Chain A
Amino acid sequence: MSWDIKSIKKWKVADHPVGSTIPVGGNALEYKTGGWRSEQPHWLEDRCTHCMICWIFCPDSSIQVKDGKMLGIDYDHCKGCGICATECPKDAIHMEEEEK
């Protein structure tokens, strides 16, 4: 089943599904929560050993990984909680104030 919410702001009473149940799973990807951030994580690639501890701890699946290597941070969904920076054993992630 598809779930297209591009025009949801124009939906009328009868357009909403029963009980507001979304008929698909995994749709959090479409909901960009990066705007909630007040601090931004910065990845220092030269210090990173690709141990994946940040990937395990990130509550928002915002550590981008391919073939066992860290690629960067998904700023569309990272809420800036800082868990990755706290847990990193190599001090390879630093938190900085979000630019306005």
Chain B
Amino acid sequence: MPKTVALTGNSACAQAMRQINPDVVAAYPITPQTTIVEEFSTFVAKGLVDTEYVTVESEHSAMSACVGASAAGSRVMTTTSSQGLALMWEVLYIASALRLPIVMHNVNRTLSGPINIHCDHQDSMGARDSGWIQIFCEDAQEAYDTTIQAIRIAEDNRVRLPVMICFDGFIISHAIDRLDLLDDEVVKKFVGDFEPLISLLDTEKPVTVGPFDGLYGYFFEFRRAQELATLGSLPVIAEVGKEFGEVSGRHYGLFEPYKLEDAELAVVVMGSTAGTAKFVVDQLRENGVAAGVLKIRSYRPFPAREIAEALSGVKAIAAMDRSLAPGAIGAPVFQEIRSALYDNSARVPVIDYIYGLGGRDVPPAHIEKVFSHLAQIAKSGKIDQVVNYLGLKE
């Protein structure tokens, strides 16, 4: 029987890790991720899991230990945030290039400076081209559910790539939320046994991992093969989300359309703000405004064709970016959305709203402001300002 509990997002993820029972966890604590590894290490100490817990001296070492353990044939998990993810950066590329199915939480926190420990998505954005699958979560339930699904996605033979589960620091990680936990046995059965493709410890079948492309020049072809695997994970993410729905009653897709079918004004958003946007949409609908939300779940790979189709009927779109890309035309979500829509036959006006940097609050009134701006654009057919800032004192 599923158990309804009140837990923080971090505790929920620690519970998911306990149920998955990975062979190796190598992690370094960093705010706001700390309580995941803190709780998980108590499970190790109490003997509730069989995990070899490697205490390392930095996140660079954490990811390096994960790469080694995964190449040795282990099911490997880790967690990080912000500066920790930044310190892992060069090893992230090794993990994806070696096609190692490591699963990691990145509890979203901004990057310094000035030093700030609160939420935005700039840490994940720094790793968006690292070859990792990136899935964003709206609440503690999704963070828990996605942790379990991520194992299946990463280890699928059509994928074999590392997966980063992204969820908002403090807003999801530290707030106590109501959620349902699956039975331990259900999770164990859902994730199944790990069958590694290679094992450095198997002396009967020796392999060479991470060879040098010195003089042969196969790098370009190899990278394209890696890109194909990333794109090929889209149907797997959808399949696993559907299968998870069958065991839990909670179905997941590549993205979540909310009242989008007949919507004229749409907001595209990732993370906890999707919940606020849905609340605002419900209120606007009561006043006869045809508003809708598209919540991105799989950001890497980006389901461009599917999203373009889902947004094809609307009159004006706002992409919500919890990050900045200095010197670019808008921030990453906007760039992705506008690019995905370019191939649609009808040109829909798209604007960018940069919001919530360094944990700046996003109350419903701010989202209402975005929808009023969209209504004005839909009416006039003209974009007054492409890149906008929400809740900024200027």
Contacts and interface: CB of A to CB of B under 8 A. Distances in A.
Contact of B211 (A13, A14, A20): A20
Contacts of A23: 205, 207
Classify the interface of chain B: helix, strand, loop or mixed. loop
B221 A9 contact: no
Interface of B: 97-100, 160, 197-198, 205-211, 213, 216-218, 221-222, 224-225, 228-229
Contacts of B207: 21-25
A26 interface: yes
A5 to B, nearest CB: 7
A39 to B, nearest CB: 21
A79 to B, nearest CB: 13
A11 B208 CA distance: 19
B208 A16 contact: no
Question: Chain A: interface residue count, which band?
Answer: 20 to 34
A16 B225 contact: yes
Interface in A5-37: 5, 8-9, 11-16, 18-27
Given A21-B98, A24-B206, 18 more contacts: A8-B218, A11-B221, A16-B218, A16-B225, A18-B160, A18-B229, A19-B97, A19-B98, A19-B99, A19-B100, A19-B198, A20-B211, A21-B99, A21-B208, A22-B211, A24-B207, A25-B208, A26-B206
A-B residue pairs, 7 tightest by C-beta: A25-B206, A19-B99, A22-B208, A19-B98, A13-B221, A13-B224, A13-B225
A23 B206 CA distance: 7
7 contacts: A5-B216, A13-B221, A16-B222, A19-B209, A22-B207, A24-B207, A25-B206
Interface of A: 1, 5, 8-9, 11-16, 18-27
A21 B221 contact: no
Contact of B221 (A5, A16, A19, A25): A16
A29 to B, nearest CB: 12
In this complex, the member of A5, A8, A26 whose beta carbon has the largest number of chain B beta carbons within 10 angstroms is: A8
In this complex, the member of B208, B211, B229 whose beta carbon has the largest number of chain A beta carbons within 10 angstroms is: B208
Given A13-B221, A24-B206, A8 B216 contact: yes
Contacts of A24: 206-208
Nearest to A18: B99
A24 B225 CA distance: 21
Contact of B97 (A9, A11, A20): A20
A20 B223 CA distance: 10
Contacts of B211: 20-22
A22 B217 CA distance: 15
Contacts of B221: 11-13, 15-16
Contact of A18 (B197, B205, B216, B217): B197
Contact of B228 (A8, A9, A13, A20): A13
A31 to B, nearest CB: 8
B98 A9 contact: no
A27 B216 CA distance: 15
B141 to A, nearest CB: 33
Given A5-B216, A25-B208, A20 B198 contact: no
B298 to A, nearest CB: 21
A22 B197 CA distance: 12
A13 B224 CA distance: 7
Contacts of B197: 18-19, 21
Contacts of B100: 19
A14 B208 contact: no
Contact of B208 (A8, A9, A27): A27
A9 B216 contact: yes
